[in-house]
Chain A
Amino acid sequence: EPEVTQTPSHQVTQMGQEVILRCVPISNHLYFYWYRQILGQKVEFLVSFYNNEISEKSEIFDDQFSVERPDGSNFTLKIRSTKLEDSAMYFCASSSAGPRSSYNSPLHFGNGTRLTVT
């Protein structure tokens, strides 16, 4: 069964550094998402992406964050100037139908990248 893959599984970085989290969505999916889960807290929506542009974003997704689909397979989340509070598990997801579709397709998630900012 096709799956979403995320790399690295664990990333440690120093405060103020930039990190790039990478995701390879399921190949025939067109809609991509990033969520994060701070330890002990709920899974929070960050951003959705379709047709090479952001379709929705949350209040968390400020100018510190950006997403990109640099080629036909990868989907990346960049965090500039990381802060201690960015430490979390970051999940990438993809789906075959998008946020504005009348048919609500479930999201398929990767295993996550645990980001630790020291």
Chain B
Amino acid sequence: AQSVTQLDSHVSVSEGTPVLLRCNYSSSYSPSLFWYVQHPNKGLQLLLKYTSAATLVKGINGFEAEFKKSETSFHLTKPSAHMSDAAEYFCVVSDRTGGSYIPTFGRGTSLIVHP
């Protein structure tokens, strides 16, 4: 069975400082991993994805994530936060469980950016 844990429900940073949103996963197979962002009253937008290619994945808006199999982690980072990054972020894991890939969401991390 697959599962994903987002370790922080809220992360608060100042504008211009680094962002770290943590995600750990559990998977029986080689998983695919995704980060999605949800701005208020908007849908879920794909930030980046890992599908067994390069372990350091670059996404949109300056975000990147590193797949670390030994730590079962897929943390999302950004060197410098912008006010527009304030949103809810979801880590998603998908592996071939029972013959199907059904993406499973973490609980989400709310990123708060202070001026």
User: Given the complex, which residues of B lie within 8 Å of A111, measured CB to CB?
Assistant: 41-43
Interface residue tally of chain B, by bracket?
Answer: 20 to 34
B44, A91: Cβ atoms closer than 8 Å: yes
Asked if A25 is at the interface (CB within 8 A of a chain B CB), the reply is no
Residues on B lying within 8 angstroms of A by beta carbon are 32, 34, 36, 41-46, 49, 51, 90, 94, 99-108
A106, B105: Cβ atoms closer than 8 Å: no
A104, B36: Cβ atoms closer than 8 Å: no
Chain A, residues 62-104, CB within 8 Å of chain B (1/0): the string is 0000000000000000000000000000010100000111011
**Nearest chain B residue, comparing its CB with the CB of A102:** B96
Residues on A lying within 8 angstroms of B by beta carbon are 4, 6, 35, 41-45, 48, 55-56, 91, 93, 99-101, 103-104, 106-112
25 examples of A-B residue contacts, CB within 8 angstroms: A6-B43, A35-B105, A41-B107, A42-B106, A42-B108, A43-B90, A44-B105, A45-B102, A48-B102, A55-B100, A56-B100, A93-B44, A99-B101, A99-B102, A100-B99, A100-B101, A101-B101, A104-B32, A106-B46, A106-B49, A107-B46, A109-B44, A109-B45, A111-B42, A111-B43
